[in-house]
């Protein structure tokens, strides 16, 4: 910058000297002013760009939500569709929600037991707008009840948001189970399996319902890589209910948890498809007011993921699943629903070599195996269900239900391995040997259910009752043996004869019937101090196989104080019996390595008495909604059937031999950590032990702590990069107890290392809902998403199980079987 009055040729020599000296002083100030001018200009331009966003008007929409009789509905969910902006009505049925006045929007009003209503508002111009809505009582049709939105949890079952499988990194392809595994009190220790533990319970203690029908799993699966797709297809899900304890009497005979899935009924044409390096799927749905149909085909092939395991070889797993749902309502009085699922799961494996490094810095070890042999397994299952429902009036219905489950399973392998156990630094051989494993196992099972369900509502009471008869036929033929030859000696070593370390040859068959009856009432009481939600019921079960009759009283209470409706408190207590199914009935006695199997008719049902106390607190931080949940629980366990866990296979002792307890506390913070995206963090502490043979020992699921994080973020608020989102899943879970195989539970006093894993998924919306062509026309595609996942982001070596090497001296070494390493997965999804 040059000032005119400082030009030197118009001044005398003395003045010019003064001016030159002055320039050395003025120039730094001129540069500073120039920089400040640029910064001020940038700030002004930025303010001009963002002022329109700040100047957008906000409109307050308020009103009253009533039922058909004009009575206010408390705790109804009010949500702005397409966003996470939501609220609930208070005890007087009143609501208030703020929206952007410059946008057109649709409000959705929903409540359990009532029909869902939507109201569209085109650019509200007023500062406030009153909108009263009436929700008709829903004629509850089995399996098609519309339950949308998330309200306040006043009972023991929480409603979970439907997972967006298109943007979340997944290793199993089972989005619903992976969502459940991130909840408080729930844990998993293998990314290859969709099974989960809830508050110290085993995999078999979780009850799963689909459209009101109980779901069963294959029984011969022993490892996560053999698992196929779950019957639950997230593309077809309408609502997810989950209870980790203290659940109602209408749910069946399991001791730990309930997962209640309801499929949707499409009102128009729907089509979506996805593909990735791990599998692919196609979903088609169509419907009208009277008729609806959904169908899906899914394919899963995790061979790419299994290639990162320590054991190298030819992995050839193929899992195929087909599902169809049909619903027909000829009138308001009648409805017919049919569901069918067929799955064909095959697992072929030819191992070649394995090299595992383990130990400590002071004592590093290497375990090398050269294999010869193969494994061929298949699991074919069919599940069918049908219901006929008659609605006497909007508050009363009677449903007749049928379901059948059939499975044909085969497990066959002959694998021989020659191994070397060495000191990694010196290459000194600590053990050399050979082992051979053989199995020819076959199982067929058929389960048939027929039942009635009745529901009615009067004044403040909702009555629910049901009757069910179940028949089970199972036939299993099992032949297994294991040979170990360590340091030129066959184990167990005997000088006079050659013995195998383990052998089994059994043929068992079971026919059984079970009768179930339940009745429960939900009573909503209003008082000056607040709203009470009391659910109490009784469940009766009679099992023919062991001639056992059981009564299970259950009660839960929710309280929403009038003084502060941000808080809600819950109490629950009840008796939960787990009637023994086939695996629990198998009494396996091992004598000198020879296993003898029989079905124990004197076995009793395991019992768990739940005591649960919890509270929710909803609040706003950073002008975004959050909810904090805490629950403490204690479970008194009686008539336990001890078991051990090998990978994902649960091996029961077949006898009531222990009593125990489980105690813990769960915390969860849920909300919009980033505006517009749901995220949550859970933290759990737990201890579970059983008294076995006079000793208190930790149960196989004694996980002392667990932390789960599900976090979603976007790269920008607006513009091109706003279409790029990131989802992070992280889990840290304490290690579980373990011990040598085919040994007494009292020897299982070791602890595996903690399970630690982080998965990161990047998703780019090539087409988003509402996007248009340059000519203004909308795309026919609702969304098109391209994703890139980094599975096991930090490459942590997690331990799944152990292989034990024993030499002639009896010294044993536990060789860790590591899970998958770091891998990339590419995915593509489209929705019309």
CB 465 within 8 Å of CB 449: no
pLDDT of residue 242: 93
Residue the block writes with tokens 């499929």: 263
Question: Does the pLDDT value for residue 457 go beyond 50?
Answer: yes
pLDDT of residue 396: 92
- For residue 550, the cross-strand partners are 541
pLDDT of residue 762: 93
Q: What value does the mean pLDDT of the chain take?
A: 84
pLDDT of residue 88: 83
pLDDT in tens, 328-343: 999 989 999 999 999 9
Percent of the chain predicted with pLDDT > 70: 86
pLDDT in tens, 577-601: 999 988 888 888 877 778 888 899 9
pLDDT band per the 50, 70, 90 thresholds, residue 497: low
The DSSP 8-state label assigned to residue 43 in this structure reads H
- For residue 262, the cross-strand partners are 239
Mean pLDDT for the stretch of residues 686-703: 93
Mean pLDDT for the stretch of residues 622-629: 86
pLDDT band per the 50, 70, 90 thresholds, residue 728: very high
**Residue 302 token pair:** 């995790």
Stretch (H or E) spanning 469: strand 461-486
pLDDT of residue 51: 42
Top-confidence residue, 434 or 21: 434
**Residue 600 token pair:** 């124990």
Top-confidence residue, 742 or 527: 527
Burial tier of 624 (Cβ tally within 10 Å: 0-12, 13-18, 19+): middle
CB 316 within 8 Å of CB 307: no
Alpha-carbon separation of residue 500 from 275, 496, 594, 597, 641 (angstroms): 47, 13, 8, 17, 27
Mean pLDDT for the stretch of residues 756-779: 81
CB 603 within 8 Å of CB 652: no
Top-confidence residue, 150 or 383: 383
Of the segments 350-364, 493-507, 553-567, which one has the largest average pLDDT value?
553-567
Of the segments 51-65, 126-140, 436-450, which one has the largest average pLDDT value?
436-450
pTM: 0.81
CB 763 within 8 Å of CB 610: no
Mean pLDDT for the stretch of residues 556-565: 87
Q: Is 191 helix (H, G, I), strand (E, B) or coil?
A: coil
pLDDT band per the 50, 70, 90 thresholds, residue 393: confident
Question: Does the pLDDT value for residue 48 go beyond 50?
Answer: no
Kindly tell me the number of DSSP H helices and DSSP E strands found in the chain.
Answer: 4, 47
- Cis link prior to 292 (omega < 30° from 0)? no
Top-confidence residue, 570 or 361: 570
pLDDT of residue 274: 94
pLDDT band per the 50, 70, 90 thresholds, residue 674: confident
Stretch (H or E) spanning 40: helix 13-54
pLDDT band per the 50, 70, 90 thresholds, residue 103: low
- For residue 440, the cross-strand partners are 412
Q: 127-136, 245-254, 739-748: which has the minimum mean pLDDT? A: 739-748
Question: Does the pLDDT value for residue 701 go beyond 60?
Answer: yes
> From the centroid of its chain, how far is CA 605?
27
Mean pLDDT for the stretch of residues 448-468: 93
Mean pLDDT for the stretch of residues 27-31: 52
User: From CA 669, how far away is CA 315, in angstroms rounded?
Assistant: 40
pLDDT band per the 50, 70, 90 thresholds, residue 435: confident
CB 139 within 8 Å of CB 389: no
Top-confidence residue, 804 or 635: 635
pLDDT of residue 173: 87
């Amino acid at each position: 910058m040059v000032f005119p009055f400082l030009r030197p040729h118009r001044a005398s020599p003395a003045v010019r000297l003064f001016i030159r000296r002055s320039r050395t002083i003025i120039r730094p100030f001129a540069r500073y002013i120039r920089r400040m001018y640029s910064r001020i200009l940038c700030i002004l331009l930025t303010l001009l760009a963002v002022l329109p966003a700040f100047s957008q008007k906000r409109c307050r929409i308020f009103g009253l939500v009533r039922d058909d009789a004009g009575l206010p509905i408390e705790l109804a969910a009010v949500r702005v569709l397409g966003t996470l902006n939501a609220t609930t009505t208070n005890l007087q049925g009143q609501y208030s929600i703020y929206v952007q006045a410059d946008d057109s929007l649709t409000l959705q009003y929903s409540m359990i037991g009532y029909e869902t209503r939507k109201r569209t508002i085109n650019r509200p111009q007023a500062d406030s707008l009153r909108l009263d809505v009436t929700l008709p009582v829903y004629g509850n049709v089995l399996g098609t009840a519309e339950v949308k939105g998330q309200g306040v949890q006043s009972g023991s079952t929480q409603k979970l948001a439907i997972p967006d499988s298109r943007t979340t990194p997944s290793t199993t392809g089972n989005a619903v189970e992976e969502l459940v595994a991130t909840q408080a009190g729930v844990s998993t220790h293998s990314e290859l399996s969709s099974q989960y533990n809830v508050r110290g319970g085993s995999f078999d203690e979780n009850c799963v319902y689909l459209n009101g029908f109980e779901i069963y799993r294959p029984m011969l699966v022993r490892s996560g890589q053999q698992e196929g797709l779950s019957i639950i297809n997230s593309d077809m899900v309408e609502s997810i209910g989950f209870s980790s304890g203290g659940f109602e009497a209408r749910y069946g005979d399991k001791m730990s948890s309930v997962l209640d899935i309801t499929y949707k009924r499409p009102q128009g044409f729907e089509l979506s498809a996805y593909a990735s390096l791990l599998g692919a799927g196609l979903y088609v749905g169509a419907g009208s007011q009277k008729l609806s149909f959904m169908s899906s085909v899914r394919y899963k092939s995790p061979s790419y993921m299994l290639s990162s395991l320590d054991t190298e070889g030819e992995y050839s797993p193929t899992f195929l699943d087909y599902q169809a749902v049909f619903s027909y309502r000829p009138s308001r009085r009648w409805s017919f629903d049919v569901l069918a699922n067929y799955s064909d799961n095959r697992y072929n494996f030819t191992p070649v070599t394995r090299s595992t490094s383990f130990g400590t810095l002071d004592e590093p070890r290497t375990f090398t195996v050269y294999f010869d042999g193969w494994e061929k397994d298949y699991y074919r299952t069919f599940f069918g269900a049908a219901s006929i429902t008659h609605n006497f009036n909007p508050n009363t219905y009677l449903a007749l239900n049928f379901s059948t489950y059939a499975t044909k399973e085969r497990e066959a392998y002959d694998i021989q391995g020659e191994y070397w156990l060495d000191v990694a630094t010196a290459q000194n051989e600590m053990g050399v040997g050979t082992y051979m494993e053989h199995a020819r196992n076959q199982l067929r099972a058929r389960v048939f259910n027929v039942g009635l369900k009745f529901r009615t509502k009067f004044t403040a009471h909702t009555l629910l009752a049901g009757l069910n008869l179940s028949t089970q036929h199972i036939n299993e033929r099992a032949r297994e043996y294991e040979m170990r030859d360590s340091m030129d000696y066959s184990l167990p070593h005997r000088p006079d004869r050659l013995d195998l370390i383990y052998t089994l040859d059994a043929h068992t068959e079971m026919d059984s019937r079970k009768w179930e009856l339940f009745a429960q009432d939900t009573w909503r009481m209003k008082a000056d101090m607040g709203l009470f939600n009391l659910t109490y019921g009784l469940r009766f079960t009679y099992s023919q196989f062991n001639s056992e009759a059981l009564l299970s009283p259950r009660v839960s209470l929710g309280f929403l104080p009038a003084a502060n409706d941000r808080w809600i408190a819950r109490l629950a207590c009840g008796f939960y019996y787990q009637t023994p199914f086939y695996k629990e009935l198998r009494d396996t006695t091992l004598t000198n390595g020879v296993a003898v199997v029989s079905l124990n008719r004197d076995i009793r049902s395991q019992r768990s008495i739940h005591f649960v106390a919890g509270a929710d607190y909803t609040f706003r931080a950073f002008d975004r909604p959050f909810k904090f949940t805490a629950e403490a629980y204690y479970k008194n366990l009686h008539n336990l059937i001890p078991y051990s866990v090998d990978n994902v296979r649960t091996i029961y002792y077949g006898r009531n031999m222990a009593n125990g307890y489980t105690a813990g506390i769960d915390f969860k913070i849920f909300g919009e950590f980033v505006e517009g995206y749901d995220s949550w963090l859970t933290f759990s502490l737990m201890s579970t032990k059983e008294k076995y043979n006079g000793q208190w020992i930790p149960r196989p699921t004694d996980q002392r702590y667990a932390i789960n994080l599900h976090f979603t973020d976007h790269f920008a608020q607006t513009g091109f990069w706003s279409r790029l989102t990131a989802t992070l899943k992280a889990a840290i879970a304490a290690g579980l107890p373990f011990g040598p195989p085919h040994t007494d539970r009292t020897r299982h006093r070791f602890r595996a290392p903690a399970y630690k894993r982080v998965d990161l998924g990047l998703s780019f919306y090539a087409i988003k809902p509402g996007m248009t062509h340059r000519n203004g026309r909308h795309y026919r595609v609702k969304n098109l998403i391209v994703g890139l996942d980094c599975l096991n982001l930090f490459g942590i070596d997690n331990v799944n199980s152990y292989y034990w090497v024993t030499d002639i001296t009896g010294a044993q070494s536990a060789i860790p079987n590591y899970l998958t390493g770091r891998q990339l997965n590419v995915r593509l999804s489209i929705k019309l």
